[in-house]
Amino acid sequence: MSYTVTLIPGDGIGPEVTAAARTVIEATGFTIDWDVQEAGGDVIEKYGTALPEPALESIRRNGVALKGPITTPVGKGFSSVNVKLRKELKLYANYRPAKTMPGVKSRYDNVDLIVIRENTEGLYSGLEHEVIPGVIESLRVITYEASERIVRFAFETARQYGRKKVTVVHKANILKLSDGLFLDVARLVAKDYHEIELEEYIVDATAMRLVMRPESFDVLVMENLFGDIISDLTSGLVGGLGVAPSANIGTHCAVFEAVHGSAPDIAGQGIANPTALILSAALMLRHLRQPEAAANIEQAVHTVLSQGKTITGDLGGNATTSEYAAAVAAVVESLQ
């Protein structure tokens, strides 16, 4: 059986890291028919937008996409392709695992957590206005519906992966109405998941505990802005941008991508670290109900990183992007 999946190489280092991810996926023996779509800074002249309709249409049709990073041009009039993509496809959940990896230098050796971020509302609803000159209001919208959906997603994720605890991160001591609602909803949803512990933690205290005792967290769920900041913190706990995968999940579509951007400073040199996108591809395979292929990719990445022989410059080695991908693919093949 094969699947058709949208592939958006993106720009900057995007084409290099997506090619690497394809090589590794092919090594699993699971066949994907790639529906390759253009998007990014290079196509603005051709389509008048960095996110052309054919790319969106393709994701709507296939339901799943693997995406390289896309540059957001600086200046007014350019909204982020990534934000637009999440809005257009209603990708309400951002899923960011953070797990310590052998061979990747980090401050801890025992982190294994998942941050789940609400992706559609909060302060990122885009509702800002000038009340009078010099006074701006930004509206932070929290709804019952979106809160229920994201908390349920967190508990379902915990159940699916045999996790023991969901921590609801909030600021309900100050934001009594908005975060009060988020917390109330979480308590209600938790009643449907008796085997999973519900923990409530204030966001600032969460930041400190993450830095001091990250191993004490399991699954964390929070609204948009808190999730944006906390998920970067957790990526930093396990080695940073080059190795941080993510998924954006909606009711009908899912888009898998690395956390990092298009890295224009190293684009075209063949030296980018494709680990983050390769691990995002593993998340995608799990979503496509190919858990064995996904696990093989993760294990192969761990093997190559812990051997430390064929690793990219950002991790202290001198392998090219394609040499590293070939090394991971070879281990994947040996695991079958």
Q: Which residues bind ligand NAD (CB under 6 A)?
A: 13, 69-72, 82, 241-242, 257, 260-266, 272-273, 276, 314
In the complex, least distance from residue 99 CB atom to ligand NAD, rounded to whole angstroms: 17
Closest contact distance (angstroms) between CB of 55 and ligand NAD is 13
Is 171 designated active site? yes
Comparing every residue's Cβ against ligand NAD, the nearest one is 261
The smaller minimum CB distance to ligand NAD, of residues 102 and 264, is found at 264
Candidate list 92, 124, 218, 314, residue with the active-site label? 124
CA distance linking residue 311 with residue 317, whole number of Å: 5
**CA-based nearest residue to 200, from 172, 226, 177:** 172
Question: In this complex, which beta carbon is closest to ligand NAD, that of residue 257 or of residue 298?
Answer: 257
| Cα atoms found within 13 Å of the Cα of residue 37, Cβ hemisphere only | 26
Q: In this structure, what are the phi and psi dihedrals at residue 38, rounded to the nearest 5 degrees?
A: -85, 140
Decide if 76 is catalytic.
Answer: no
User: Can 228 be counted among the known catalytic residues?
Assistant: yes
CA distances from 330 to 276, 310, 333 (A): 18, 12, 5
Q: Which is nearer to ligand NAD, 119 or 167 (CB)?
A: 119
Report in angstroms how near the CB of residue 80 gets to ligand NAD at its nearest: 6
Measure the CA–CA gap between 86 and 291, rounded to whole angstroms: 25
* The one catalytic residue among 42, 112, 228, 232: 228
* Whole-number Cα distances in Å, 148 to 59, 118, 124: 25, 10, 18
Give the active site residue among 35, 171, 314, 324. 171
Alpha-carbon span 67 to 95, nearest angstrom: 15
Say whether 124 is catalytic: yes
Minimum CB separation from ligand NAD for residue 264, in Å? 6
Residues forming a β-bridge with 113: 98
* Dist. CA 85–CA 73, nearest whole Å: 16
Q: Which is nearer to ligand NAD, 296 or 320 (CB)?
A: 320
Catalytic residue list: 124, 171, 204, 228
